[in-house]
A = this chain, B = another copy of it.
């Protein structure tokens, strides 16, 4: 089997949710941003932006939205922004139609770019001994995040990334059997037997791990999360459209 430092990092990723009380130095943040900027971008249109949230009051408000205290107590907090606003600005300067930027196609492209760059930030952080967690939970109230960060039309907060010096080393959480997620040539329907095996694996993992033990299978987890969701998450498509995305 192939191995190297980067593969080791990528195959040992765990999300970190407890950080030491220690800020991330500026040159480290610069390295993270360099990695984000060098990431592939759909049609070289660079359809993302990054906001570093440093204001304690803003952090507190974002932490209330995510419900996670480490949103404000991590060493650094990025918010990844899907951004066609900059390209619309260029179109408006030149007085050409910018309608295409509002389409499903270019909406997805902006989310892709922000997400790809976000994953580069996570990997770059881990390579420097930092830990990170992706905070999809900022979407518990997308509209409030938009208001707090002064996000204009054709921008949208995709997720946050809390970064800092790890104060925990969680066990590696087992993933679905590869056969249920990787196929050759054609999509394959889920296999109940493989899901049964994985239910047992996850049950044993939760029973035996170092902290927050519980009795739960993978199916339990999925069934719970497909039935319960914070109220404002049901409005995300409406907020996307209000921001000018997915118009057509």
Contact = CB atoms under 8 A, between A and B. Distances in A.
A7 B128 contact: yes
Contacts of A115: 111-112, 115-116, 119
Copies of this protein in the assembly total 2
A90 B222 contact: yes
Give the size category of A's interface with B: 35 or more
18 contacts: A1-B31, A11-B35, A13-B38, A37-B178, A50-B183, A52-B183, A58-B185, A86-B180, A86-B181, A89-B190, A90-B195, A91-B223, A101-B226, A108-B111, A111-B112, A119-B119, A119-B123, A120-B123
Interface of A: 1-7, 9-13, 15, 27-28, 30-31, 33-35, 37-40, 42-46, 48-55, 58, 81, 83, 85-87, 89-91, 93-94, 96-98, 100-101, 103-109, 111-112, 115-116, 118-120, 122-124, 126-128, 133-134, 136, 139, 149-152, 155, 158-159, 172-173, 175-176, 178, 180-187, 189-190, 192, 195, 219, 221-223, 225-227, 229, 233-234, 236-238, 240, 246, 248
